[in-house]
Amino acid sequence: MGDRRQIVRRITLLAALAALPFLTGGAAEARKPIPPFAAWARLLYEQEIARHAAFARGERSAASDIERRFTPETRALIATAQGRIMPRTEPDGPILHVFLGWGALPGRRIELKDVRADGPSSAIVDLAINDVGRRLVVTGAYDADGEGWRIIDIHYGAGSLDESYVARLRRMATWPQR
């Protein structure tokens, strides 16, 4: 009979330990809703426009601050494209700003006009560069391990030399290495 009580105590103790995360709020953390991608993208673009203005004033950001906003797969493409020599056949401008698109040169006025959902993990970003409208489409992936939203790609629009950031990185990876 003593063995039976001991087994019951052990089972009760194991059940209590298993329930502990649920009783302490651990389950609530696990079920925390994923923030909408468009809301995250709006905040990202507000920060990037402020960073762009700071850059024009001479303030610099680390490349890691930019790269951390991308998925690991996109960061791998960034690493592959680094250290490449731009061929002479490449046009000198307008310069491509990773987040803001073509022609977002330092000192130009950038305005965020609108950010709206284009699906659960995609957002349309409307901005103006010196009063000229631009539309970007940003796609992302949510990292369930606590990293939050990360960018998969930014589409700059048809007619651009590179229609998206990933397309540009893939093309750059074919350029000669330094």
Low-confidence residues in the chain, pLDDT < 70: 1-31, 63-64, 92-94, 146
- 107 Ramachandran zone, left/alpha/beta (phi>0; psi -120 to 50): left
pLDDT at 8 (0 to 100): 46
pLDDT at residue number 20: 47
3-state secondary structure of 170: helix
pLDDT digits (tens, 9 = 90+) for 71-117: 999 999 999 999 899 888 887 666 888 999 988 888 899 999 999 99
Q: What is the pLDDT of residue 175?
A: 93
pLDDT of residue 55: 84
The reported pLDDT for the residue numbered 31 is 61
Cβ–Cβ < 8 Å for 2, 10: no
Fold of 34-172: Nuclear Transport Factor 2; Chain: A, (3.10.450)
Rounded distance, CA 96 to CA 162, Å?
Answer: 9
Per this entry, what is the length of the chain?
178
CA–CA separation, 32 and 151 (whole Å): 21
DSSP for 57-114 reads TT----HHHHHTTB-HHHHHHHHHHTTBPPPTTS---SPEETTTEET--TT--EEEEE
- How much is the pLDDT for 103? 86
Predicted confidence at residue 13, as pLDDT, reads: 43
